[in-house]
Chains A and B, each alone.
Chain A
Amino acid sequence: MTNWRWDFVWEILPRLIWATGNTLLAAGGGYAIALVLGLALAVAQRSRHKLSKNILRELVEFIRSTPLVLQIFFIFYVGPQFGVWLSPWTAGMVAIGLHYAAYLSEVYRGGIDSVPKGQWEAATAINLTTTQTYWRIILPQALPPSLAGMGNYLVGIFKDTPMLSVIGVGELMHTANAIGSESYRFLEPYTLVGVIFLAISLPTAALVRLLEASVRRTLGMS
């Protein structure tokens, strides 16, 4: 093969593995934000207030149809213009979190819409509050149909973390770039990054499918 050097691989592997930790951290942090914010977006879109509903819908469309990398730039650089400095990590996770919140809100909306109307009515009939109805009746039922989408976007977030390298977050891609510019060797670092991504995203996707089945079973819905 074209000059593939195993000794170099062993030399850089510890650094890449360390960076993998950062990648997972960024993905996890971004995903946590996306899970919560996405739910808020989904529920807010069910409000009866027409105007706020339409504004939210358009906002979600906006976030979904513009590039994440540009959103990362925007959030990272716009803060300082107005005197707020966000660290690359914070800006990056907020950007990723916001971007995927828009996607997840659609997933949740689908899940919530799939709960029969009678469930809302039965909840009203036993006099639950709206909040109780969401948490105890609707969301547990909206979860199983949402799981596949939620899992896909977990893998999606993970695969989008390399974009954080553009603002200097020390994740995998950033580390591979650094190695490349120090050693003028690109073959091993970039290939290894690809392999690491494959090694994590393929099993995760499989795991997500297993999880989905087991949640369905615990909720007695299969």
Chain B
Amino acid sequence: MTFVEFIITYYPRFLSGTIVTIEQFVLASVLCIFLALLAGLMKLSPRTSVRACATVYIEIFRGTSLLVQLYWIFFVLPLFGITLDKFTAGFVAVGLNVGAYGAELVRGGVLSVPTGQWEAAVSINMSPGKRMSRIILPQALVNMLPAWGNLLIELLKGTALVATIAVADLTFEARQINYSTFMSAQSFGTALIIYYVLARFLLTPLMRRLEKIMARQIGRE
């Protein structure tokens, strides 16, 4: 079987795997961003108990492995009465894991906004919520966006682990095709290239674009 024949035969499965990978990526990203904002801001709270909650989340998920977390959520959580199907367990684990790393980015981003901005917001009598959402966060976001580009690539790579609980993503399909053809270089090589294209020619340019737009939004060129 030539490589061309290989691709013609198996492209539907690579395609469906890629679509599942993209679905996992998008859902995990949404969860990740939400958790990162929540935990990142909680870590800046003046209340010790709030900070402690965020710290526990961040340290547990950064201190252990994504694979361990995935297995725990998929195999152990049901014992506590929380049963997630494998697709959900997959992106939830990835989102929870990467969200912990994102929380540190959010915290760093907020701290990178000069104190003068806080003081100015106070001086025009903004409420704490408004201060954060209208003055601080937009600037923090621009500052941390480059780091988020890298983190989202890590997240995309992280989704490959959902294959281990049999979510039919790109890695899973590559493995299946390898088992039935023993054409390992072709199966895994094709999958690697697809991930690479997704990361470098879709995600990276998208983030660059976003960085530019955001910078313009807050009047930074």
**A contacts B directly (C-beta below 8 A):** yes
Inter-subunit contact A193/B196 (CB<8 Å): no
Q: Give A37 to B63 CA distance when docked, in angstroms.
A: 26
Would A71 and B65 count as touching, CB distance under 8 A? no
Q: Cβ of A61: which chain B residues have Cβ within 8 Å of it?
A: 200
Within 8 A of A (CB), among B161-181: 161, 163-164, 171, 174-175, 178
CB of B4 within 8 A of chain A?
no
C-alpha spacing A176/B68, complex, angstroms: 10
Interface size on A, residues (CB 8 A): 40
Q: Shortest CB–CB separation between residue A102 and chain B, in angstroms?
A: 12
Chain A 165-216 residues near chain B, CB threshold 8 A: 165-166, 173, 176-177, 180, 186-187, 190-191, 193-194, 197-198, 201-202
Whose C-beta in chain B lies nearest to the C-beta of A186?
Answer: B75
With beta carbons under 8 angstroms apart, the residue of B64, B71, B157, B178 that contacts A67 is: B157
User: CA–CA, A202 to B58, complex, Å?
Assistant: 12
Q: Which of A66-121 contact B (CB under 8 A)?
A: 66-71, 73-74, 77-78, 80-82
Number of interface residues of B (CB under 8 A): 40
A63, B18: Cα distance in complex, Å: 19
Binds B, one of A14-22, A140-148, A156-164: A156-164
In the complex, the chain A residue whose C-beta lies closest to that of B160 is: A67
Q: Closest Cβ of chain B: how far from A186's Cβ, in Å?
A: 4
**B residues 89-104 in Cβ contact with A at 8 Å:** none
Contact between A66 and B64, CB atoms less than 8 A apart:
no
Is A47 among interface residues, defined by CB-CB distance under 8 A?
Answer: no
How far apart are the CA atoms of A162 and B75 in the complex, in Å? 16
- Give the docked Cα–Cα distance between A73 and B195 (Å): 14
* Closest Cβ neighbor of A74 among chain B residues: B188
Q: Choose among B69, B174, B192, B199 the residue with the greatest number of A CB atoms under 10 Å from its CB.
A: B192
Q: Does B59 contact A (CB under 8 A)?
A: yes
Can you name the residue of chain B whose Cβ is closest to the Cβ of A196?
B64
Q: B residues within 8 Å of A by Cβ? A: 59-60, 63-69, 71-72, 75-76, 79-80, 153, 156-161, 163-164, 171, 174-175, 178, 182-185, 188-189, 191-192, 195-196, 199-200
> Can you list 5 A-B contacts (CB < 8 A)?
A66-B192, A70-B174, A162-B67, A163-B161, A190-B75
